[in-house]
Structure 1
Amino acid sequence: MEKQTVQKLFLCFWMYAILGWCYEVFLEVVVYKWGFTNLGIMYGPYCPIYAVGALLFLLIFGRFMKKEGGLALQISRPFIVFFGSMAVATAVELTGTYILEFFTGSWPWNTYADYDINFQARIALSPSLRFGMGGLLFLYFVQSLYDRLLSKPKPKTLNIITIAVLVTVVTDFALTLIFRY
């Protein structure tokens, strides 16, 4: 894989993580009116689990989104993406709960116990449906915006941005390990 591609995937990963954090804050503050708390597992404004899901969406559905076809494909594609995104994100979330529980003793979204349809407070139907919608928005709109955004900087500028993000994330990760866990 060429350097530019790795850099762009790395930067996209952290942009997705920040977007996921913004989504969580929006839910907490605006929708549920719980007030602000940093639900991320690190100090910074990012939720890496959203980035994992987004990269998996690209890996699984990227070529499918570009595939040309007849009317049947055009009509069925959003439904396939919706249910596929729902399944992928729910699997990522379920896996994430087990990983986080193993390393930290809990997981940030254990409020799912309050949802009518949930599995061990790890996953729930309502968030899974939102993940399906998020997959549609991500694959149809957000990713093309990120692609345009990352095509603008010159390679040297992209190197500087990548190094700055890497230093920030590594520092945050180290501080998180030292002071939180």
Structure 2
Amino acid sequence: MYLLNQKLLGCSVGHKGREVVDMNKYIIAFFLFSFLGWVWESIYCTIRDHKWANRGFLYGPICPIYGFGSILGFFIYDLVKTGHLPSIKWWMIFILGFIISMVLEYPTSWALEKLFNARWWDYSDVPLNINGRTSVPTSIAFGFASILVMRVLIPFSDRGLSYLSDTLSNILALILVSIISIDATLTISALTDFQKRVASIDEGFQNHMADIVNRVYGNQNSYYHKVIQRIAVFKLPERKKRIAKQLRQKQFMELIKDFYKSDVVKQMDEYIQHGTTTTLEHCENVAWISYLINEKLHLNADEKELIEAAMLHDLYLYDWHVPDPSRKLHGFTHPDIACENAVKYFDISDKEQEAIRSHMWPLTITKIPKSKEAMIICFADKYCALIEAIRLNKRFGLRH
């Protein structure tokens, strides 16, 4: 799933003078600086407005725009440290910070407004602003802040992160990505009224069933009335719960059985995905958890499209653990590769293609899940990856 052990610059590990730049560091740094940005903005706006101001776009205490800026800063810092770039003077850092703040703020503000009809910042009252989305004075401030970040905070963070073991770094990165995925899914669901639509569907179903029961009560004599009352409060005993679980699993197996007849799908069983779980097993786990989420929460996603997209979401057919210069950005590129293979070997719908391409969101920041099926798979993928990485599959409801 993630490029947690891939070397972004093809460098070897290093306490012996050679340095590693791996995706784990960038993921952890993203969260660290997103949190620091949230702290700074919340304190500043609280003091300015004399009331508490939560400056995060998400529910959690993070401002992602600071995280993306820090990733770019870390990348430049690593290039300088490894000799790929010459040393950068303070005034060059200032200019870069000034430009990057404008480049990040304007399109981010525009995209958020187009998607959610809201603005998270507005510089309309600030001199030399551009449509209120960015301004020269604020970008100057970010330029000076960039000097502090590049000269102090990033080197300090880099030294601290170098002490983390590979195992701890892997687990921490997975947990952080899972957290922001859940947070972002809940935030976007709330902003787009997705939860209201789901609640409306469920309420309509419950009202319909209540009408049926009321009609039955009205048409039956007292004997039948008592029978129906017993049925209404009836709770399945453990044996019947087991039967229900077996029926659920049988129905799921009917949905995925044809995939195991495909030679190209079988190839996924040749590669390890997380821990000891193969890519094929991981896809089945994601399909199973997606199936349960859809059923338990009554989301009414298209079951066939949901399971097909889940079973094919990692159909990239190579071992991402093996160092290969052409796969340095596996975490970002493999959804497109898997989708291309799925289209090539299977007749999948546009909605399924979108679900496969967006399953790594928010790592692939521009590919936001746009359907119930895509959102379910995105969450299930993060959940399964985390449980598989810590090798507690059976304890947490996975199949392998």
TM range (shorter): 0.7 to 0.9
Q: Secondary structure at the match of 1:114?
A: coil
Shift of 1:51: 1.2
* Alignment match, 1:99: 111
Contact 1:57 1:85 in 2 (8 A): no
Contact 2:26 2:74 in 1 (8 A): no
* Alignment match, 2:52: 36
Q: Secondary structure at the match of 1:3?
A: coil
* Alignment match, 1:125: 136
The match for 1:58 among 74, 77, 83 is: 74
Shift of 1:47: 0.8
Determine the C-alpha separation between the residues in 1 that align with 2:153 and 2:141.
16
Shift of 1:128: 0.6
Determine the C-alpha separation between the residues in 2 that align with 1:90 and 1:65.
26
| Worse-matched range after superposition: 58-67 or 165-174 | 58-67
Contact 1:41 1:47 in 2 (8 A): yes
Aligned CA RMSD, in angstroms, stands at 2.5
1:7-156 → structure 2 map (5 Å cutoff): 7-30=24-47, 32-60=48-76, 62-64=78-80, 77-110=89-122, 112-156=123-167
Letter in 2 for 1:124: S
| Worse-matched range after superposition: 137-146 or 76-85 | 76-85
Shift of 1:2: 6.6
Q: Which has the higher contact order (CA 8 A, sep 6+)?
A: 1
Shift of 1:144: 1.0
Determine the C-alpha separation between the residues in 1 that align with 2:40 and 2:113.
23
For residues 103-150 of structure 1, give each alpha carbon's deviation from its aligned partner in whole angstroms, at most 9, with x where no partner exists: 11132011x112122111111122111110111011001101111221
Gaps of 5+ in 2: 7-21, 193-400
Letter in 1 for 2:145: G
Determine the C-alpha separation between the residues in 2 that align with 1:35 and 1:117.
27
Letter in 2 for 1:42: L
* Alignment match, 1:6: 23
Letter in 1 for 2:65: I
Determine the C-alpha separation between the residues in 2 that align with 1:149 and 1:95.
32
Which structure shows the higher helix fraction? 1
Letter in 2 for 1:108: W
Superposed structure 1 runs of 4+ greater than 6 Å apart: none
Q: Secondary structure at the match of 1:37?
A: coil
Letter in 1 for 2:26: L
Shift of 1:64: 4.8
Q: Secondary structure at the match of 2:132?
A: coil
Determine the C-alpha separation between the residues in 1 that align with 2:173 and 2:186.
20
Contact 2:38 2:63 in 1 (8 A): yes
Q: Secondary structure at the match of 1:177?
A: helix
* Alignment match, 2:13: none
Contact 1:21 1:40 in 2 (8 A): yes
Identity of aligned residues (%): 24
Structure 1's 60 and 144: CA in aligned 2 closer, same or farther, altered over 3 A? closer
- Length, aligned pairs only: 175
Shift of 1:40: 1.6
Letter in 2 for 1:20: G
Q: Secondary structure at the match of 2:124?
A: helix
